């Protein structure tokens, strides 16, 4: 049962110490539309905009020239400035962005031009212009801009916890959910041995991350870690990729080539999606693991190898064994130690932590200073199905970071499917698992405390509240 906008507003008031995005007035947006002198297309658009705004219950005023616009701009609060660009668009764009920069609480700027170009759009992006519209303007474009502005009404900016120094990068294991803690314990124990390991889990749950952590925590850490995606290599080439081949072994084999087993000598070989390989190749993998030796394609020479094998699959290998699609002896050889990785939707509050780490990582990569995420974004993220698990989350957050034009990730930066039918709803949101305000506050405080290693002073500073207030909240929520 989806949560109504009223429910969301009632429970998602600002957390202690968070920063509230300035709400737009309840009576509607106030828009200033500025024409370009002597440009009939722009001036015609101004009249259309004024008519549409009045029909939608918005307040819109027009200015036919720059001096009039400046006087109107300084006379009150505006939520949006729409400007028409004339014969010198880049120069006019620069004048407006410089002028608005000097205005306290400057409204977003949208530019309209009859013939937009790539260079103009690039300049607009560089200067922080919200959007560039081609003339004649379409009503759906105007409605989209207004809808995105109105969506800010209920978006409260929550400060992100600082990143953990060790939790940075694509292969970092991040999470504090009990199921992940059990995975950490198992990794620590398994790493001490050279036993084969089978990692099962849906696509995107972090199977390669776990394999890399096992390798990095083992005595083989200084030796190679070699990863092979068995599903990405054609069956007729996979054997050569794993075991290597001799010159002339087959058409196209013009030189000797070492296989992944040899490249991983002394280290770890990670075989991802191994359920997709043929039964004949499974038999050769079994021999390599049991006898610790391989033969290159086209050769009878036996080559000893010292390799730890870690396998991974997103399929049910037990079912595959029962159906005759996977060798039972290889299954038991691989599953000396087995572990099942949880889905992202089953990891609870880890979504907060993963989101924060992704924002910091991609912010640094793309030169963005983002340290807050809106409450509506968190609602949308928590109610998403996450079929692609952590990999999908990383993709979504990187996209949002790239599109963000401020220090806060907002709902407009998420893909359209998160909001439904491509529309931005002011505070609307559908899904299950709605949180009460108390639960949301408890979760956020607990996350910041964990990031601060339980230090009340540091956590209070991150939350922007007095340490006594935090201590009282901790007692109230049993933290």
What is the rounded CA–CA span in Å between residue 290 and residue 284?
10
The structure tokens 């991150």 sit at 462
For position 103, what pLDDT does the model report? Answer: 67
- Report whether 121 contacts 131 (CB < 8 A): no
What is the rounded CA–CA span in Å between residue 142 and residue 53?
9
Average of per-residue pLDDT values in the chain: 81
Q: In terms of pLDDT, which residue wins out, 273 or 20?
A: 273
pLDDT, tens digit (0-9, with 9 covering 90-100), for 380-396: 999 899 989 999 999 99
Residue 431 clears pLDDT 50, i.e. is over it: no
Residue 271 clears pLDDT 50, i.e. is over it: yes
Angle at CA of residue 41, ends 35 and 46, nearest 5°: 45
For position 424, what pLDDT does the model report? Answer: 35
- Report whether 158 contacts 18 (CB < 8 A): yes
User: Which of 4-8, 415-419, 446-450 ranks highest by mean pLDDT?
Assistant: 415-419
Strand 372-374 with 156-159, pairing: antiparallel
Angle at CA of residue 242, ends 240 and 243, nearest 5°: 65
Phi-psi region of 346 (alpha: psi -120 to 50; beta: other; left: phi over 0): alpha
Q: 457-460 contacts: CB < 8 A, separation 24 or more? A: 460/17
Report, as an integer, the average pLDDT of 200-209.
94
What is the rounded CA–CA span in Å between residue 188 and residue 205?
19
pLDDT, tens digit (0-9, with 9 covering 90-100), for 24-35: 343 467 888 887
Report, as an integer, the average pLDDT of 355-360.
92
Instruction: Give me the phi and psi of 256, to 5 degrees please.
Output: -70, 145
- All residues at 6 or more sequence positions from 397 whose CB lies less than 8 Å from its CB, including other chains: 355, 358, 359, 362, 409
């Amino acid at each position: 049962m989806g949560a109504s906008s009223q429910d969301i507003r009632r429970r998602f008031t600002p957390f202690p110490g968070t920063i509230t995005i300035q709400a737009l007035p309840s009576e509607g947006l106030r828009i200033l539309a500025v024409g370009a002198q002597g440009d009939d297309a722009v001036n015609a658009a101004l009249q259309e905009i004024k008519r549409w705004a009045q029909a939608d219950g918005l307040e819109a005023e027009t200015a036919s020239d720059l001096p009039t616009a400046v006087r109107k701009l300084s006379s009150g609060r505006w939520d949006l400035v729409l400007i028409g660009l004339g014969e010198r668009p880049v120069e006019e764009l620069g004048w407006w962005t410089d002028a608005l920069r000097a205005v306290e609480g400057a409204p977003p700027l949208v530019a309209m031009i009859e013939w937009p170009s790539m260079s103009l759009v690039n300049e607009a992006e560089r200067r922080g212009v919200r959007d560039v519209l081609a003339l004649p303007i379409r009503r759906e474009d105007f409605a989209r801009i207004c809808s995105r502005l109105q969506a800010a009404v209920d978006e409260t900016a929550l400060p992100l916890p600082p990143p953990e120094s060790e939790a940075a990068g694509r292969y970092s294991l991040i999470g504090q959910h009990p199921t992940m803690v059990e995975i950490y314990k198992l990794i620590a124990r398994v790493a001490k041995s050279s036993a084969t390991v089978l990692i099962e889990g849906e696509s995107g749950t972090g199977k390669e991350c776990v394999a890399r952590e096992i390798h990095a925590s083992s005595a083989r850490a200084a030796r190679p870690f070699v990863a092979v995606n068995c599903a990405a290599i054609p069956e007729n080439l996979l054997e050569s990729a794993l075991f290597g081949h001799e010159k002339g072994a087959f058409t196209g084999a013009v030189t000797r080539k070492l296989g992944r087993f040899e490249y991983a000598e002394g280290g770890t070989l990670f075989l991802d999606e191994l359920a997709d390989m043929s039964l004949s190749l499974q038999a050769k993998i079994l021999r390599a693991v049991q006898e610790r030796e391989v033969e290159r394609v086209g050769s009878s020479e036996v080559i000893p190898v010292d390799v730890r094998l870690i396998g991974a699959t997103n399929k049910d290998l037990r079912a595959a064994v029962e159906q005759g699609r996977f060798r039972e002896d290889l299954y038991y050889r691989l599953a000396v130690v087995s572990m099942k990785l949880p889905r992202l939707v089953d990891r609870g509050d880890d979504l907060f932590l993963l989101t924060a780490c992704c924002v910091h990582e991609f912010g640094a990569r793309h030169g963005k200073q983002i340290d807050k995420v809106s409450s509506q974004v968190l609602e949308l993220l928590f109610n998403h199905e996450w079929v692609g698990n952590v990999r999908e989350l990383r993709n979504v957050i990187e996209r949002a970071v790239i599109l963000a034009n401020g220090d806060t990730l907002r709902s407009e930066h998420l893909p359209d499917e998160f909001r439904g039918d491509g529309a931005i709803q002011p505070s609307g949101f559908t899904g299950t698992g709605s949180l009460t305000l108390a639960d949301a506050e408890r979760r956020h405080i607990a996350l910041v405390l964990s990031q601060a290693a339980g230090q009340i002073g540091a956590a209070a500073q991150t939350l922007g509240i007095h340490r006594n207030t935090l201590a009282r909240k901790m007692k109230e929520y049993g933290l």
